[in-house]
A and B are shown apart, each in its own frame.
Chain A
Amino acid sequence: MTPATGTFTLPARVLHWLMALLIVAMLFIGVGMVESVSERHEWLLAIHKPLGIAILLLAIVRLAVRLRHPPPPLPADLPALQKLAALASHWLLYFLMLAMPLIGWAMLSAGGYPVMLGTSLRLPPIFPTSAVAFAVLRHLHEWFAMLLFLTFLAHMGAALYHGLIRRDGVLSSMVGRRST
Chain B
Amino acid sequence: MIWNPEYESMPRRELEALQLERLRRLLARLAERVPFYRERFAAQKITPEKIRDLAQLQELPFTTKDDLRENYPFGLFAAPMDEVVRIHASSGTTGKMTVVGYTKNDVAIWAEVMARTLSCAGATAKDVIQVAYGYGLFTGGLGVHYGAERIGATVVPISGGNTKRQLTVMRDFGTTILACTPSYALYMAETAREEGMDLRGLRLKAGVFGAEPWSEEMRREIQEKLGLLAIDIYGLSEIIGPGVASECECQNGLHVNEDHFLVEVIDPVTGQRLPYGEKGELVFTTLTKEAFPLLRYRTRDIGILYPEPCPCGRTLIRMSRILGRTDDMLIIRGVNVFPSQIEAVLLAIGGVEPHYQIIVDRERNLDELEIWVEVSEGIFSDEVKRLEELERKIRVEIESTLGIHARVKLVEPKTIARREGKAKRVIDRREVYAVRPGP
A, B from the same assembly: no
Residues of B within 8 A of A (CB): none
Residues of A within 8 A of B (CB): none
